[in-house]
Amino acid sequence: MDRFVPPDARILDADVDFQALAAQDPVWVPPPPCHPGASRRDFIKGVIASGTAVSALSYTMGGRSARAQSAAAPERLIAINVNGQVRRTDVTPNETLAMTLRYKLGLTGTKLGCDRGECGACTVLIDDVPHHSCSTLTHALRGRKVTTIEGLEAPNGELHPVQKAFVEELAPQCGFCTPGQIMSSVALLKVNPKPTRDEARLALSGNLCRCGAYDHYLNAVMRAAREA
Ligand code: FES
Ligand code: FES
């Protein structure tokens, strides 16, 4: 089996070619210039390549300014598959999936930390692959399958095995990063049901935890793999 390399691990590489990555994955927007090898120009080119116009000025002022500008942009009705349901909503051309999920669809389990592709708090699955929803454009998701933390539990309310393992290991502290940690873990176990601890560490490497609960999260992933 191919070794699972999450998008977040890829962006830690110092010499990563962001343009090539963006070309491989049409819904992935290259991270902003704080990452080695990336530049503000790369980000803007990536957004434009996705069919969206966002001004350099609004980006310079930060993601929240970009959103303020998006309020004036025309909205378009789209239908996206979220947690197995087709959800219709109006989105602006430069609206991120995190904003759509939280503020249009009421799915607030997806957290917004940095809002710039660095912390992993906003991780969701798109076609079972983990993505930063703060760096993914909603309008690019037609025909794709989005899974959020709310979509993991069974219809009868039973928690997903990974969620149970996180509870058993008392993994979260403040819990803010936990949805992202769980989504990355679920993605890992789909492609590698019996990971080594190092493989699990790599898969979660893009999910930062300000409380430093990393070992607890790894214990939880290994428990979920053991008990599956
Ligand atoms: S909020 Fe998306 S990576 Fe931090
Ligand atoms: S548990 Fe607090 S940030 Fe991770």
Q: Which of 119, 181, 184, 207 to mutate to test the pocket of ligand 1 (most atoms within 8 A of CB)?
A: 119
Residue type, 226: R
> What's the CA-to-centroid distance between 118 and ligand 1, angstroms?
5
- Cα–Cα distance for residue pair 161/183, rounded to 1 Å: 12
Query: Which tokens in the block code for residue 213?
Result: 């609960």
Instruction: Note the pLDDT tens digit of each residue in 86-105.
Output: 999 999 999 999 999 999 99
**Measured from the CB, is residue 122 less than 6 Å from ligand 1?**
yes
Which positions ≥6 away from 182 have C-beta within 8 Å? 149, 152, 160, 162, 163, 166
Mean pLDDT of 146-162: 97
- pLDDT: is 49 or 152 the higher one? 152
**Is residue 226 over pLDDT 70?**
yes
* Residue to mutate, 28, 64, 115, 204, ligand 1, most ligand atoms under 8 Å from C-beta: 115
Total structural domains within the chain: 1
CATH of the domain at 200: 1.10.150.120
Report if residue 121 sits inside a domain. Answer: no
182 within domain boundaries = yes
Q: Residue 175 domain-assigned?
A: yes
Residue at 118 is within a domain: no
pLDDT tens profile 8-27: 433 333 344 545 655 665 55
Residue 36: pLDDT above 50?
Answer: no
Q: Is residue 204 part of a domain?
A: yes
Residue 45 predicted with pLDDT over 60: no
The order of strands in the sheet holding 145-147 is 85-91, 76-82, 145-147, 123-126, 129-132
Contact between 162 and 221 under an 8 Å Cβ cutoff? The reply is: yes
Closest ligand relative to 97 C-alpha:
1
In a domain, 41, yes or no: no
Residue 189 inside a domain? The answer is: yes
pLDDT at 200 over 50: yes
State if pTM tops 0.85.
no
The model's confidence at residue 127, banded by pLDDT at 50, 70 and 90, is very high
Domain that holds residue 186: 161-227
Residue 99 Cβ inside 6 Å of ligand 1? The answer reads no
The rounded Å distance from CA 156 to ligand 1 centre is: 30
Q: Which amino acid is at 189?
A: L
> Are the C-beta atoms of 155 and 68 separated by less than 8 Å?
no
Q: pLDDT tier at 31 (50, 70, 90 boundaries)?
A: very low
Give residue-wise pLDDT tens across range 58-85. 333 344 544 554 556 788 999 999 999 9
Pick the closest to residue 141 from 105, 190, 181 (CA basis). 105
* Cα 119 to averaged position of ligand 2 atoms, centre (Å): 11
Is 31 part of a structural domain of the chain? no
Q: How far is CA 63 from CA 13, 27, 67, 97, 140, in A?
A: 24, 18, 6, 13, 18
